[in-house]
Amino acid sequence: MQRHLISAADLTRDDAVLILDTAEEMARVADRPIKKLPTLRGRTIVNLFFEDSTRTRISFEAAEKRLSADVINFTAKGSSVSKGESLKDTAQTLEAMGVDAVVIRHGASGAPYRLANSGWIDAAVINAGDGTHQHPTQALLDAFTMRRRLVGRDAGLGQDLSGKRITLVGDVLHSRVARSNVDLLHTLGAEVTLVAPPTLVPVGVGTWPCEVSYDLDSTLPKSDAVMMLRVQRERMNAAFFPTEREYSRRYGLDGDRMARMPEHAIVMHPGPMVRGMEITAEVADSDRCTVVEQVANGVSIRMAVLYLLLGGNEPAVTHARTTEEK
């Protein structure tokens, strides 16, 4: 393991599998009467959120607290890009307070990379979403969810996602979730297909380790998992697609389309869902949809990442682990 987690692309297959396996151990904690491990007792972690994200922050906070870390929440919404120095100043303030790790969400792509590599601080940096770049713990929790559903909870231990066919649908251009997932799923051996209108696929996507299709219907029967990405309504005003209805007709997932997926295939969504736009209520509420599991799994994954990055003292994984370098 590296010292920071900035991009899903930085993870090797063994790193990723180790995190997923560790997360299975962490998930057991949630089944206990007292959902807490002493692993990070005495460690201080700051959740540094320059951008609103209640879900991600709470997920990290829950993970940190279940590992007994001391948690500081810092919200600096809107102040970052207008005053560039605030990231550096804020980081150094936190460093001065003896912080061990910084979980950062930032609207600017590359801000966590800068934080980790500019010499401003010594703490471990965990990217909790930066601009349209990366959101590695989201990709990990998605992979964890897929492995549990498509390989099996116990059968999955030590396994990757070789041969699984995963389809990501929607606003790839602006999606850090898509970028992270393409990187990680490829590393884990899955075959990834991106489906979107051409306006929402970045120029340069040709070098990504995935297929690109503009046609959802032909892709669905070949998918083991279909992940719907959120489409912001304001994209319509920027002429990425003509109307909301047209988008839904061509790229939305409804009951009819879901019926074309293989029996075992699951529907995923990173949330928050825009019901009626990219996904209908019928699909969102079906038992094939894993949105709620993804949220629960997010806590386990973040516990695993924090545990592995901060090198806890207590063993968390009971089976053989690959070599860990800190």
Partner 1 sequence: MSKILIRGAKVLGGEPQDVLIDGETIAAVGTDLDAGGAEVVEADGKVLLPGLVDLHTHLREPGREDSETVLTGTRAAASGGYTAVFAMANTFPVADTAGVVEQVYRLGRDHGYCDVQPIGAVTVGLEGKKLAELGAMHESAAGVTVFSDDGKCVDDAVIMRRALEYVKAFGGVVAQHAQEPRLTEGAQMNEGVVSAELGLGGWPAVAEESVIARDVLLAEHVGSRVHICHLSTAGSVEIVRWAKSRGIDVTAEVTPHHLLLTEEMVRTYNPVYKVNPPLRTERDVHALREALADGTIDIVATDHAPHPHEDKDCEWAAAAMGMVGLETALSVVQATMVETGLLDWAGVADRMSAKPARIGGARGHGRPVSVGEPANLTLVDTAYRGQVDPAGFASRSRNTPYEGRELPGRVTHTWLRGKATLVDGKLT
- Rounded-to-integer distance, Cα 84 and Cα 87, Å: 7
| Tokens (6 digits) for 48 | 């540094």
User: With respect to partner 1, which residue has the nearer C-beta, 211 or 324?
Assistant: 211
Report, in Å, the least distance between residue 80 CB and partner 1: 7
Asked whether residue 138 is marked as a ligand-binding residue, the answer is: yes
Asked whether residue 148 is marked as a ligand-binding residue, the answer is: no
Placement of tokens 């973040």 in the chain: 302
CA 270 → CA 175, 176, 236, distances in Å?
Answer: 11, 11, 21
Report, in Å, the least distance between residue 247 CB and partner 1: 21
Q: Which of 80, 156, 135 is nearest to 298 (CA)?
A: 135
- Rounded-to-integer distance, Cα 158 and Cα 161, Å: 10
CA distance from start to end of the chain? 6
Asked whether residue 135 is marked as a ligand-binding residue, the answer is: yes
Asked whether residue 222 is marked as a ligand-binding residue, the answer is: no
SS3 299: helix
Asked whether residue 149 is marked as a ligand-binding residue, the answer is: no
Q: Inter-axis angle of helices 54-66 and 291-310, to 10 degrees? A: 50
- Rounded-to-integer distance, Cα 97 and Cα 44, Å: 9
Asked whether residue 57 is marked as a ligand-binding residue, the answer is: no
Report, in Å, the least distance between residue 236 CB and partner 1: 16
Q: Which residues 6+ apart lie within 8 Å of 2 measured at CB?
A: 10, 15
- Rounded-to-integer distance, Cα 261 and Cα 258, Å: 5
What residue ranges bind partner 1 (CB under 8 A)? 80-85, 87-88, 106-111, 113-114, 117-118, 130-134, 176, 179, 202-208
User: With respect to partner 1, which residue has the nearer C-beta, 134 or 294?
Assistant: 134
User: With respect to partner 1, which residue has the nearer C-beta, 98 or 206?
Assistant: 206
User: With respect to partner 1, which residue has the nearer C-beta, 28 or 83?
Assistant: 83
User: With respect to partner 1, which residue has the nearer C-beta, 95 or 254?
Assistant: 95
Instruction: Return the bridge partners of 194, or none.
Output: 168, 212
Report, in Å, the least distance between residue 109 CB and partner 1: 4
User: With respect to partner 1, which residue has the nearer C-beta, 90 or 294?
Assistant: 90
Report, in Å, the least distance between residue 265 CB and partner 1: 28
Report, in Å, the least distance between residue 143 CB and partner 1: 19
Asked whether residue 153 is marked as a ligand-binding residue, the answer is: no
Binding residue ranges for carbamoyl phosphate? 55-56, 105, 135, 138, 271-272
Binding residue ranges for L-aspartate? 83, 176, 230
